[in-house]
Amino acid sequence: MIEITEERIAIEEILAGAKRPDAGAVVSFLGTVRDDGISGMEVEAYCEVAREELKTIQKEAMEKFDLLSVDMIHRIGTLSVGEEIVLIVCTAAHRRAAFLGCEYVIDEIKRRAPIWKKEIGAEGDHWV
């Protein structure tokens, strides 16, 4: 599953859906809006291009780490401190592959996907 959405992420549902009989590991990463003296964050994406890049990252991760599945859900819109921004769920036969795959996916999303964050604070807004 690859999704870019303004809706809250159904974390438990996605984790439950990732379980499969041939997977010994389900590893997830949940990125949230951190309180760095900000009141919130605006997340924007070039959705069509971002989805294609996420598909490419998914394919790379599955091949490189022998993953059984990779789910990526990224929020856009105005988010408050504590809200989820991104959820990545990787399944594999063994935990090492699932952990490495999950780390690879988030690193590549941050590096390659056209998704931008603007922190909103009392001292003004700025893109990060």
pLDDT tens figures, 42-67: 999 999 999 999 999 999 999 999 99
The full set of domains in the chain, from first to last, is 2-121 (3.90.1170.40)
- For residue 104, the model assigns a pLDDT of 98
pTM recorded for the entire structure: 0.93
Buried b (16+ CB within 10 A) or exposed e, 47-76: eeebbebbeebbeebbeebebbbbbbbbbb
Q: How confident is the model at residue 122 (pLDDT cuts 50, 70, 90)?
A: confident
Mean pLDDT score, 85-99? 98
